[in-house]
Structure 1
Amino acid sequence: MRTIRQITAVTLGLLVIQCSSAAKKDAPIISQKVIPGIPGAVFIQRIQTDQQPKQVCFHPSRDEIYVTNLGGTAAKSTGPGSLQIFKKSTGELLFRQPAIAAVECLLDLSDENVLYYSDMFSDEIVKFDLVNRKVLYRASIKENNISNFRGTNYRYMPKIIEPDTINKRLYVSMWLDGVSVINSETGEFIRRFPRFCSHPRGLMIEKNTLFVMCYGVPDGPGEIVQLDTVTGQVISRLNTGGSPRHIVRISKEKALISNLNAGLIYLYDFTKGAIDKSLKTGAANTIVLDPGKEFVYVNDRSHNKIYIVSIQEWKILTTISTGPFPTGLDVSRDGRFLAVTNFDDASFDLFELKRGQQSIQ
């Protein structure tokens, strides 16, 4: 059984989510200024979603956007959460797949007709057919003999999904445990690496090493942990403080990491396990690399902003205003569009990225 402290932490987190401030429905006011070489954001529209949208994903070739929604409560039955499919060009809702509490979405790198999403309050990873609009499997992230919390369908709360396309595996971080591994083709549960830090979040696989962003707060230190995927043993720990959240690879040696409670992003050398430098960005949550790999987009959910950061110059070039509590973030593969979910407003904003233009507030 989990300790009272752990269960209380989850309960308090849910209360914070449910008691978030009311959102303004007005679209952001954006003016334009031409600055060569910098992508500027032109607001297209704000699209309503189900409650508490977590992540947003563009399809690489179809006119579709996918949004995973937590829903309003930690209900025991399917209903409050969802996967929603929108038409990118119009904002029209095309399809809604019920979930208990959908968290992260991931497009299959080897098959663009498949999407995975984590359902936090069912302890499952769902493989979804985007062509026929149907569930292909629901994969458990725990052993059959693990009991759920009383009156619920969960024990570990899956979050981020990291694909290993070579070995056909999905690594899944679990808010209340460690990391689970499932077969991406069949959904078969392979193994679980039990808790090795507090609140694992972002993941990155490099050969037999899994880099795990450990959020920490309020139950432990913020850490970057390297885990051996063969033995399950911890290779190293880097205590960062704050709360590391997401990691994005930008080269064969470097990655970018967001640290929400420290208000920083890091340039991280994963071959050395060391932080090269940091940049103040406010409450850095999701980070997304521009397809050209010159810029990174960082959403700051404490100030309702997205920052466009030059990786080479290592500075914020411009900001984009969002709705309240920006959470999910994605850029289309062709670099033409940017989407951000407004967690407290049940909506997402869609922008067109104009190369050579900058948005000024």
Structure 2
Amino acid sequence: MTRVAVLGGGNWGTAYAAVMADAGCTVRLWARRAEVADEINRTRVNSAYLPELTVPEGISATSDSAEALADAEIVVLAVPSQSLRDNLAVWREQLPADAPVVSLMKGIELGTGERMSEVIADAGGVDPDRIVVVSGPNLAHEIAAQQPAAAVVASASPRARARVAEASATGYFRPYLGNDVVGTEIAGATKNVIALAVGMASGMGMGDNTMASLLTRGLAETARLGTALGADPQTFLGLAGVGDLVATCASPLSRNRTFGYKLGSGMTLAEVTASTTQTAEGVKSCESILQLAQGAGVDVPIVENVAAVVHEGRSPRDVVGALMSRARKHEGH
């Protein structure tokens, strides 16, 4: 059986650990808080994040990263994107030398503009050929309920992506292979920002026409940015692109959509932040994605206006007006 270390005991880290255990792997799950690890080992429940999931017996939990990583054949990283670099400063010397390193994170690092695979290579000292990105329409609560879902397993290395796909294939979770790491990561990060915009519109009482328009134009600017950075345009029509975008924008289980909904309903940023214990990645990543787009000379009006709400205090209603009054252009622009 493949020995796997999953570093991150939140929603998606726990759900993906369960996928790999159900696929026949032996999994050590690292949780930052000792009480979370202890609860999983005692009761087979992670009540803080996925109380509905009975954690498979193939998973043991620990708050000691060295213990989790010892002899691991695959390493999975599932921490908030903006904390990854600090965590890798601790984990770098503990990472097994030859194991594929899997990123479940969907964000762009503030300050550097680096994608998560770039942070792993830089701060973790990991050869890019060992880095694998898993992304798609993968809402953790639905995965925990074993509802059928698919994902892209992307890597520059055919061997690494095949190995990770085999270790996470179950009757309810179907991995597809891909080689477009750039496109997979840009799609995963930007869809969180588009979901914030969709949530704001919904919170203001707007209907399906508005949602569909934001989703479609959001996909267009995501593809523009990704292509400018070297991605394969086809990636944005697949699971990591439109698939993940639809799930994140449409589902009430989406943290980013829910965060945007509360802003659109009239709550302040501080009030929404205080009301949630979980990370909405788009709130921080919108600024770094905007900077990345500006550096590449790419127009991303939805991202720009979401960043204005989150970081400049503009009202969601003003943002809708700004988007609707933009100069008319050909749809393919």
Q: Structure 1-normalised TM-score?
A: 0.27
- TM-score, length-normalised on structure 2? 0.29
The structure in which a higher percent of residues are helix is 2
